[in-house]
Structures are given as C-alpha cells and as structure tokens.
Chains A and B, each alone.
Chain A
C-alpha cells in the first residue's frame, strides 16, 4: 500500500519535472550519461521480467459455473468397494485395512460357495483354506494360506501403465473368482480392469453434487421462497473481485520503455504508450457489473413423461446503466436434463433492454421447481467480476404425472384374501368359476347350482360348489431409501424411478381386477395411501406416485427409516399382502422383506436390477444382490428379478414361466 502511494507520488513529481524540462530546456541541471540510461533501462526490463513471472504464477480468478444440463447422477451398487465388503461382515470395523478386506472377501466367498456350490459352510471354509475352490491362483492364495504369487513379468509391465496397486490386483482377481463361483457373468481374470474403471461416475466431469453445483449456499431454496420476491430475489453470491484477466498488461509498457531507452528507437518507446493505455483501461472498471431480473415461461407446465418442454427465459436490465458483460446460467431442476439448446446466455444489455433465450428439457415424473439462475457479471474490460443468484419473478414449477397403465402380465399374488370378491384363489368352495366340489343339497341353495345331471342319473340332490375367488388387500411398498437411488449407468432411470413406474402399473392391474391396493414408501419422509380402489383412489394414487416428496426423483439426505417401518406395521391390517419394490442393493431391503414376512404379511418382491460390472466393487455388489435374492427365495419369498434392459412386463412373464427358480 505504502509502496504504491510512494511510487505514485514519485511518479507525479518526476512527470512534473520532465514536463518542465521539456518546456524550459536547461532547468534540469544535469545531462544523463550513458550509464544512467543503461541503468534505468536494465532496471525497467528487470521489473518487466518480474511482472511476467507474477502472471505465470498466478491463476485467473473466474467464476466456475454449475452444470444444470445434466440430471443428478446415480451410481451403481458397489461404487464403494469397502462398503460392499463391510456388508458381508457382521460387525462394523473402526478402520478399514487389508485384513478387513480379506475378511470381507472371505465371507463373501463362503456365502457364495455355500449357496451355489456343493459346499456346506464348514466345507467352504476348508476349501478356501486349501485354495481348491477356484482355478485362479492369486485369489486362492489370497483367501487361503499360501503366498500370493507375483504377477508375471509381462503383466507387471502392463500394470505400470494401469496404475493398479498390488492390493487392487489381488482384490480384482478374488472378486472375479467369487463372481465366477456365483455363476454370474465372469470377467476374464486379467485384461482390462482399468478401461472399465474409467467409466465410473466419479470420473465424470459433471457430478452435480460435487464440483458442478459450485460454492453456493443460496442455491438450494425452497419453492416458497423462490416466488416471494423482495430482497430475496437477488442475492450477491460473491462480491466484485479482480479476475486477473489483464494482470501483467503493464509488461507492455515496461518492455517498451526499457528496450526503448536501451536501443533509442522511438517506435519501441512509443509501444509503451500502447501498454499504458491498455493498463489504464483495465484499471478503469468502466461500466461496473450489475444485476438483472429474469422471467421464465414454460411451453406447458403439465407435460407427459418424456415430452419435450421448451423453456424461454427473458433477461431484463432494470437498472439505468449499460451492463456490458452478463453471463447467465439458468437453474434447471436437478432431476431434468436439457436435450436441446443451452440454458446459458452471454449478453450485454442497455438500460431497460431485454434479451431472451430458450432451451428444451425432457419431462420426467415428479414435481420439478426451477432453481435460481446464476449470473456472472463483469465490467467492460473484464477485470472485475461478481456472482449473483437470481430467482425468477414468479416461481416456475413443472409437474409431470404419468398415467396409470395396467400390466400386460398379471403379477402373481400370495394366497391370502379379504372378504371382497377378487382374483386370489382361495382353498374354499363358494361362488366362482372354477369347479371346486359337490356336496349334499341344503335348503336355500340356488336352483342353478343343483347338479341336474346327477339328479337325472341317480335321483340324488347335490349342489355344485365353485372355487371362491376373493380380493386381496395389497400394499405396495417402494424402497426409497438413499441406497435405492442406484442405476447401472449414471444418467439412466434409477431403481426408485423404475420401482415407482412399476408400482403405478401394478396398482392399475390389481385394482382393475378388484383388489384393494395401498401405497407406502420406505423412506424417512412419511408416505402412505390406505388400501382402496375406485376412481378417486386411483387419482390419489397417481398423484402420490408422481409428486410425493418421499418418492422424489432426486436422492435426499440419508436418514433412519426404522421408526417409519414400525408405524407402517401398525397400519397394515392382518392378512394384507406386501408387494415390496426394492433394488435389494443393500441389506436394509432384504431385512425389511424378511421382517414383514415374519410378521405374517405375505411379501412378494419386485426388484429392479441396478447393478453394473465395471469395477470389482460393482461386480461384488452384483454378487451381494444375487445372494440376497436367492436367500429370499429360499425363505419362501417370491422375488421378481427385473433386469435393466427389460420391461417390468417381461420380467413378470419370465417369473410366471418359472424361469427364475
């Protein structure tokens, strides 16, 4: 600070002296010798060098804009290998180390061998110790008692390029051996682990939850605040600060002067004038940054799923100043993706002027509120910048409620029923279609039920009974816990979306055939629709599936669901069936199904498969899920396994044909 003031004072003084010397020659009593000229020139060039160095060392301080174009990415199960391994262990360890990795893999191997191999658990342990359970020498040695054989020399060279640690190599081999033992699509032991690892969510540029969203506390606003106007509409996220765009422009002046003095060429000396001019322009902060107001209109705010909706944003300069540099990024709802155009605009606006831009988004189930737009504004030279977060004049909300379409294939229910007529076949005679038994005629039996053939043949009066078909009371429970937000690819529909989609179709099917159906979500947020049927109930169910916050297409924060589980149990009447829609990506879903089965509610599981096989973790996650499914089936709970490349109808059809058992 003081250095600057001194420099400017001296500068002004020297300038004055120089001007006087120009007007009145001879006032300055000395003539500069060549030594002085060279000295000054050299010093100035040295200073220029310092400026260049400073520019090279410093980084530009420019705003990083969010990436609202992409929906929130969801990972496949097993993204965190350690967490999967922990799932196989009974107790939670404090720290995770090599020993625990081995223990986890060992219990996974035991579980797989005992389930799919010809081993009992004890035999499996023995086979692991002896290393006879797999052909893979690395895996056998790691889980057994031998030493892990070193990689062959050629592989070692390859490993250099793959940046795989010895531990990672051993884990990869072991996981692949376990996967092979489970009879799942095994990876060949060696070749391309890293190529697959590249594709994980972590590697992507656009993970919203991390870098993408940017450092903004004001970003997450509730819809209520958005439209309220007042001071809240426009928040300064970061005040004006230098960007560093022009940093180092003084080097032009310094080199011009230094070199000009040394070589004595007026052309070079005058280059300094250009440098000084630009430096002054950069310092001027001409036309400082300011705020704008925005307005957003939607082509339609109640689209069908998959429909393309055009969003038009109008930006207006309500100030009395020219705003030379406005960079705007609109707040596209987190769950939606931009499929055409760009939700960004760079413009300059005169006072009162407005500009608009539009882009297209793809509608998706749910209530989507547009967030605040991010404005990065600069002055004319671009040397100062500020960031603002701006809400639209009126809150923009897009509601997408899918219609309820019945399944093409009936979902088999378990055998318990209510007093209502329906489709569950009971082991009782009564009214129905299918022949059940004949019995002796009793007074009051309908004439149409008397077996007249037998009467004609033998003279006996008998009554025919048919198999009674009763309605079931069903509650569809959707797993919407944090661990259910999983998908094989980052941006494809995750397990919760698929479960909600399937729930709507199952609801339509079952109510269509006379069952009474309720809906609940396994989630921290309460979500409950009592079993019922009829038009009004269907409207309610449709709205709940589409818009209930517990079933939001964007994962919420992780909270305990045990409390809610207890309340759900109290709500279920005896004899109610539970159709549990869960990816079974974690132990909690497995536990829920078993507990409710044990309480006496017959459980059927419909499980969208979110697993992937890019990394050892993913593959082990797939093994864990397969183990859960076969465990549930062994416990007598039917599980419809729903692969990601099939429709739910196909999955149920496969299940009905008995392919899966």
Chain B
C-alpha cells in the first residue's frame, strides 16, 4: 500500500498579503489626514479603520465596505467642521482606495489563494487605482485653487445638480 501524504490540507483563501498591507496603509492615511481636525472625524475614522482591519483578517467584504464608508464619513465630518481642503480630499481618496484595495485583496485571495504568486496582478491594480486617486485629487484641489473667485451661488447649484444627474446616469 502506498503511503499517502495527506493532501487534505485546505487551500488558504484568505485575503492576499500585499492586499492587506496596501489596504491597511490606505486606511491609516485616511485616518491620519483628517483625524486631527475634529473629534467626530477621529471617532468615525477609528471605527472605520478597526472595521477594515477586522474585515481583512476575517476576509469579510461587508466589514471592509463598512469600514471604508466610516473612514469616508470621517473625512466628510472633518470637512464639515472646517478642516482644510487638501487633507479632506486626501482622506476621501484614501478611503475609496482602502475600499478598492480591500475588496481586491479578498477577491484575489478567494480566487487564487494566498500561496499563489499574485504580486504582479495586485501591483497593476493598486498602481492604477492610486494613479486615478492622485489625479482626481489634483483636479479637485486645482478646481479649489481656481474657483475661489466667488462664483454666483446659482451657477454652483446648477453644476451640482448636473453632476448628480450625470453620476446617476452613469451608475
């Protein structure tokens, strides 16, 4: 009888290593950029980061979604309490990135497992998303620098409504 090496070991389908680090990094950036400007922001951001980390360890998508959303809410709260534009924008972008990275880490982990070599795949995705984040951040901040000339409130409102309608049409 040939002796069987036990192949019954389960495949580790938890989130990937690189993805976990990237997600944690983005979450920390999101919290650090706005956490110092207001107490509610710090509370929401801390909650968000904890949820994010628990979600990553357990591989639960819902927790990562919730954590990233709380980080985003923290950034908005900081903005509402008068935090400067740049940290708020960084916080929002980092929260979105943490959400994207976390979801990717969980998805790649589930499909390929932790033992597989997935560095290139993840690097491409993380790099692209980060580039988009930096670009929109730049655009947002640029708009702020250009648009401080006191535009009429009616124009602003129309633009806002247009943006909402277009976002709706896109999603």
Contacts and interface: CB of A to CB of B under 8 A. Distances in A.
Contacts of A268: 76, 79-80, 88
Interface in B114-171: 115-125, 128-129, 132-133, 135-137, 139-141, 143-144, 148, 151-171
A647 B85 contact: no
Contact of B108 (A277, A346, A648): A346
Interface string A321-357: 0001111010000000111011011111000000101
Contacts of B119: 346
Given A65-B111, A341-B115, A22 B143 contact: no
Contacts of A552: none
A380 B130 CA distance: 12
Given A265-B79, A271-B76, A326-B121, A493 B4 contact: yes
Given A22-B152, A62-B111, A265-B80, A270 B165 contact: no
Contacts of B151: 22
Nearest to B34: A267
A56 B66 CA distance: 9
A583 to B, nearest CB: 13
A306 B2 contact: yes
A60 B107 contact: yes
A491 B96 contact: no
A279 B120 contact: no
Interface in B36-92: 61-62, 65, 69, 72-73, 75-76, 79-80, 82-85, 88-89, 92
A70 B8 contact: yes
A281 B130 CA distance: 11
Contacts of A51: 171
B165 A11 contact: yes
Given A32-B157, A55-B65, A278 B103 contact: no
Contacts of A329: 111-112
B106 to A, nearest CB: 9
A250 B164 CA distance: 9
Given A256-B76, A267-B88, A348 B113 contact: no
B115 A342 contact: yes
Given A267-B89, A337-B7, A491-B6, A22 B155 contact: yes
A646 B129 CA distance: 58
A259 B89 CA distance: 14
A491 B4 contact: yes
B32 interface: no
A369 interface: no
B111 A275 contact: no
A255 B76 contact: yes
Contacts of A110: none
Contacts of A55: 65
Interface stretch (A13-21, A189-197, A425-433, A474-482): A13-21
A67 interface: yes
Nearest to B93: A274
Contacts of A52: 69
Contacts of A15: 158-159, 162-163, 166
A659 interface: no
A158 B3 CA distance: 39
A211 interface: no
A252 interface: yes
B160 to A, nearest CB: 5
Interface string A1-32: 00011011011111101110110010010111
A270 B144 contact: yes
Contacts of A21: 152, 154-155, 158
B167 A271 contact: no
Nearest to B10: A205
A249 interface: yes
A32 to B, nearest CB: 5
A491 B7 contact: yes
A278 B132 contact: yes
B112 A279 contact: no
B85 A266 contact: yes
Contacts of A12: 162, 166
Contacts of A256: 76, 92
B143 A44 contact: no
A360 B25 CA distance: 34
B92 A8 contact: no
Interface of A: 4-5, 7-8, 10-15, 17-19, 21-22, 25, 28, 30-32, 36-37, 40, 44, 47, 51-52, 55-56, 60, 62-65, 67, 69-71, 204-206, 243, 245-257, 259-261, 263, 265-281, 283, 286, 305-306, 324-327, 329, 337-339, 341-342, 344-348, 355, 357, 362, 364, 376, 380-382, 489-493, 497-498, 501, 644, 646-648
Q: Which A-B residue pairs are the 9 nearest by beta carbons?
A: A277-B136, A11-B165, A18-B158, A346-B118, A337-B7, A346-B121, A8-B169, A15-B162, A21-B155
Interface of B: 1-8, 10-11, 61-62, 65, 69, 72-73, 75-76, 79-80, 82-85, 88-89, 92-93, 96, 100, 103-104, 107-108, 110-113, 115-125, 128-129, 132-133, 135-137, 139-141, 143-144, 148, 151-171
24 contacts: A11-B162, A11-B166, A18-B158, A18-B159, A18-B162, A21-B152, A28-B152, A37-B157, A44-B164, A47-B164, A64-B110, A205-B10, A253-B167, A257-B160, A265-B80, A265-B82, A271-B88, A271-B89, A273-B136, A283-B171, A345-B112, A346-B121, A348-B124, A647-B1
Given A65-B111, A339-B5, A489-B8, 14 more contacts: A11-B162, A11-B169, A18-B158, A37-B157, A40-B157, A60-B103, A260-B79, A270-B143, A275-B92, A276-B163, A279-B171, A305-B2, A325-B121, A646-B1
